[in-house]
Amino acid sequence: MGEKLCAGKESAIMSRSLATIILNVPCEFHEESFRISEWDKEKLTSIFTELEFRTLGKRLLGATFNQEGGQTDLFGNAVDFKDKPRAAEPKEVEHAPSAMIKTIQDVPHKYSLVNSTEAISQLAADLHKHKEICFDTETTGLDANGCEIVGMSFSVVKGEAYYVPCPIDRGETIKFLQAFAPLFLDEKITWIGQNIKFDLLVLKNYGFDFAGKIFDTMLAHFVIEPEGKRSMDALSEKYLEYAPISIEALIGKKGKGQGTMRDVELDVIKEYASEDADITLQLKEVFLPLLVENKVEKVFYEVDAPLVKVLTDMEFEGIKVHAGFLKEYSDVLDKDIKIAEESVYAQAGHRFNLASPKQLGEILFDKLQLDPKAKKTKTGQYATGEDVLAKLAHHHKICDDILVFRELSKLKSTYVDALPQLINPKTGRVHTTFAQAIAVTGRLSSINPNLQNIPIRSDRGKEVRKAFVPRDENHVLMSADYSQIELRIVAAISGDPAMCEAFKAGKDIHIATAAKVYNIAESEVTKEMRYKAKSVNFGIIYGQGAFGLADNLGISRTEAKEIIDNYKREFVNITKYMDDTINFARENGFVQTLMGRRRWLRDINSGNFTVRGFAERNAINSPIQGSAADMIKLAMYKIHQRMKEEKVKSKMLLQVHDELVFDVLKGEEDQMKQLVLSCMEYAMPLPNEVPTIAEVGFGANWLEAH
C-alpha cells in the first residue's frame, strides 16, 4: 500500500488537479437570462417534425403540432427516401396520451350486433359474397386449447363490422356457428386476422376447420419489420393513428382480479370486438403496399402465411408426456441433488446456503483458497459462474459437485417438475405454442412450454426426452432432422468449391475441413483435429473471431489465429462471402435469406466498434440461420399437404429448429419416412447443387427416436 502510494504520488497529485472542478471560469450568472420563459412552438414543431417525435410533439404542443413526420425536409419540401436504404420504420416507444391519435369516439363506424338465427344466416350469406373476410374471436382466455368462444366479429368493409355473440353452452355454440361452416370450408376465401392462428385453433377445438388462405397482419408486419412491437394496439396506433379500446377497460388489469369476456356487457363487447376486426382489416390494407415495397412478398406468401394452418394443427395435436416417468425421475434427481449438496458441505466443512453466490464465493475463495487470482464481479462478490467453476472442476471435486447440483436443480424445476403441470386436462397432452413472429432470424419459437430447449448435451438432460411418448401402443414416435443444414447453406451460398465438393462427395465435413486446415490426408485427421475444425466451422457461422475460438477450445490465441488463417486460405469463398455480406449490409442496411426474408441492421455503419461488431456478426449469421428456418418451414408445409393427400393417420407434432417430431401410426412407418424425407430434402433446393440430407429415426420415446 505504502509502496503504491510512493509510486503513485505524482499521479495522485496530478489526479487531484484533474478532479478539481474549476470555479473561476469566465462566465457570469444573469438571473434574467436564465429565467424560464415561453416555449418557441414554431421552432419545436420544426425540429420535432424533422425527428419524427410524433407522440411527444402532440403531447407537448397539442393540436398545433402538425405531423408530417419524415416526409419533408428543413424547407418543407417533400423528401424522397424510397431508394435510400431504410432501417425499418420509426418506432415510437412513448405511451403518453396524445391529442392526434383518434379513438372510437372520433371516427364514424357502423358496428352491428347479430344475434338472431335469421340475422346470422343473412350475415353468412352476405359475407360469402366477399373473397376476403377479416375476423376475430373473443374468448374466455388465452389458452386456445382450453378457452371457450364468447363471440366472433367479422369485417369486410372499412368502418363496418358485425359481432356475433355465442351461447355459453358448447353444443349450442357449435350449432350457432354452423351457419358459417360453408364459408370456413370455401377454399377461395382469404381469412384476415391478427395472430390468426389463435382464432383458428379456438375454432378447431369446436370442430371447425378452415379451407381458405390466410393473411395474418402480425406476420405481415413481422416480415416488414422483424424487430419491434406488433400487438394490434401498437400497430393500430403506429400505422392508423388510432387507439383501439383497451382490453383493460373491459375486464380490468392483468392479474387475479381480471374478469373474462363473458362478464362484459353485450353492447360494450360488440364495440370492442367489431373494432378489432375493423382495425385488422385496415392494417392489412396498410401492409399490402409495404410487403411489395420491402420486397418481402415471397417469404410472406410462400413461407410464413401457409405455415399458419400447419402450426394450428400441430398445436392442436400436442404431444403425450409420461407424467409417471417424470415423477420417478424427479425423485431420482432429488436424491442426486442431495448427495451433491451434502458432498459440497462436507468439503466446505459446514453447511451454508448453496443457492447464494455470495456465500459460495466466500467458501471457495476465502475459506478454501481454491484460486488466489479469483475474479470478483462488479458488486464485489466473487464470480462463481459456470465458466469459473468449470475451469476449477478438474482439480477440485467441490466445484464439480456444485456444477452437478446446479444442473440437476435447474433440470428438475424447469422440466421434470414443470412439464406434468402443463398437461391439458381435456386432452391429456402437452400443447406448446409456436410463435412465428418473435425470433428476428425467422426461426420459430416454442412457448408455454418451450419444448425447443430441452437439454440434449448432458445425459441427465437427455433423460427428459424419454418422457415424450407416442399417443398409444398403436403409434411410434418418429424424429426427422436435417444433417449439417447450416454448414450446407454456408457452402451453397458462398459457392466455396472445397466445401461444396465435400458435401457433394458425402464426406464428413469436419474431417474434410481438418484435412485442409492442417494440410494432411483425411485419414490422418485425429479426433482432436476434427473437434477443432468443427469449432471453426461453427464459429464461422456465428461470426466468431480468434478470441472466441481460443476461449472455446481452450487453446492460445496464436494457435486459434493460425487455424483461422489456414481456414480462410483454404476456403477462400467463405471469407469472400463474409466480406460481401457485410458490404451488402453496409450499403443496403439489411441482409436477407434465400427466400428474401430481411433483417435490418441499423448499427452496421456505427462508429462504435462493439456495436458495429455485433451487427456484423448478425449480418453473417442471419442469412444462414434464417435460410435454414425458411427451409424447414417450407418442408413442414409440404409434409402437411402430402399427409393430407395421402390420407395418413400419423400426425406432425413438434418442430425443434432442424428437427421434426411425429406420432406415426404403426404400419405407416415406411410411407411416413419416405414422405417426410423427400419433402425435407427437396423443400428448398440449395444453390451450387449442394445436397440437403435429412435423417429419420423411430422409437418408443423421443430420445430413442432421435
Asked whether the beta carbons of 598 and 618 are under 8 A apart, the reply is no
53-92 footprint of another protein as x/- string (CB under 8 A): x--x---x--------xxx-------x-x--xxxxxxxxx
**Per-residue contact flags (x/-) with another protein for residues 15 to 54, judged by CB under 8 A:** xxxxxxxxxxxxxxx-x-xxxxxxxxx-xx-xx--xxxx-
The least CB distance from residue 374 to another protein, in Å, is 14
Backbone angles phi, psi at 272, to 5 degrees: -65, -50
Using the minimum distance from each CB to another protein, give the nearer residue, 287 or 468: 287
Helices (H), 52-195: 54-61, 117-127, 170-177, 181-184
Nearer to another protein, 108 or 289 (CB): 289
56 or 422, CB closer to another protein? Answer: 56
Extract the C-alpha cell encoding 435.
Answer: 410463435
Q: Does the footprint of another protein cover residue 367 (CB under 8 A)?
A: no
- Residue 36: CB minimum distance to another protein, A: 6
What's the CA gap between 536 and 613, in Å, rounded? 18
Nearer to another protein, 90 or 252 (CB): 90
Least CB distance to another protein at residue 299 (A): 22
CB closer to another protein, 26 vs 257: 26
Burial of 609 by CB count in 10 Å (0-12 exposed, 13-18 middle, 19+ buried)?
Answer: exposed
DSSP letter string, 468-503: EE-SSTTEEEEEEEESSHHHHHHHHHHT-HHHHHHH
Least distance from C-beta 101 to another protein, angstroms?
A: 18
CA 581 to chain centroid, in Å, comes to 23
Cβ closer to another protein: 5 or 521? 5
The smaller minimum CB distance to another protein, of residues 52 and 659, is found at 52
**Cα dist from 341 to 90, 272, 351, 391, whole Å:** 52, 55, 9, 20
Residue 132 or 371: the one with the smaller Cβ distance to another protein is 371
Query: Rounded to the nearest whole angstrom, what is the least distance from the CB of residue 439 to another protein in the complex?
Result: 16
- List the x/- string, 220-259, binding to another protein by CB under 8 A: --------x-------------------------------
How many chain residues bind another protein (CB under 8 A)? 74
Question: What count of other Cβ atoms lies within 10 Å of the Cβ of residue 602?
Answer: 15
Question: Taking a C-beta distance cutoff of 8 angstroms, is the pair 402, 354 a contact?
Answer: yes
Name 682's Cβ contacts closer than 8 Å, sequence gap at least 6. 692
Q: How far is CA 488 from CA 244, 522, 613, in A?
A: 47, 19, 25
Dist CA 607 CA 609 (whole Å): 6
Q: Supply the minimum distance, in Å, between the C-beta of residue 222 and another protein.
A: 17
Q: Which residues pair with 480 in a beta bridge?
A: 660, 696
Whose CA is closest to 571, among 593, 604, 539, 595? 539
Q: Which is nearer to another protein, 2 or 255 (CB)?
A: 2
Of the ranges 14-22, 317-325, 519-527, 575-583, which one interacts with another protein (CB under 8 A)? 14-22
Q: Indicate the residue among 34 and 75 with the shorter CB distance to another protein.
A: 34
Residue 89 CB, nearest approach to another protein (Å): 7
**Sites for another protein among residues 588-647 (CB under 8 A):** 589, 602-603, 605-611
Rounded Cα distance, 482 and 625, in Å: 13
The stretch near another protein (CB under 8 A) out of 3-11, 120-128, 148-156, 534-542 is 3-11
Q: Report 564-593 residues binding another protein (CB under 8 A).
A: 589
Q: What is the DSSP letter of 467?
A: G
**Residue carrying C-alpha cell 455470495:** 358
Output the smallest distance, CB 455 to another protein, in A.
28
Kindly identify the residues of this chain, within the stretch 86-145, that bind another protein according to CB under 8 A.
86-93
CA distances to 100, 305, 474, 652 from 640, rounded to whole Å, are 47, 14, 21, 8
Distance of alpha carbon 701 from alpha carbon 417, whole angstroms: 19
Minimum gap (Å) between residue 2 Cβ and another protein: 2
Can residue 506 be called a binding residue for another protein (CB under 8 A)? no
Nearer to another protein, 32 or 387 (CB): 32
Cα diameter, the chain:
97
Joined together, the cell numbers standing for residue 41 give 412552438
- Distance of closest approach, residue 46 Cβ to another protein, in angstroms: 8
Binding to another protein (CB under 8 A) within 538-557 occurs at: none
CA dist 687 and 696 (Å) reads 24
Smallest distance from the beta carbon of 13 to another protein, in angstroms? Answer: 7
Q: How far apart are CA 567 and CA 499, in angstroms?
A: 11
Q: For another protein, which is the closer residue by CB, 174 or 383?
A: 383
Nearest approach, Cβ of residue 468 and another protein (Å): 35
Alpha-carbon dihedral sign for residues 601, 607, 608, 612: positive
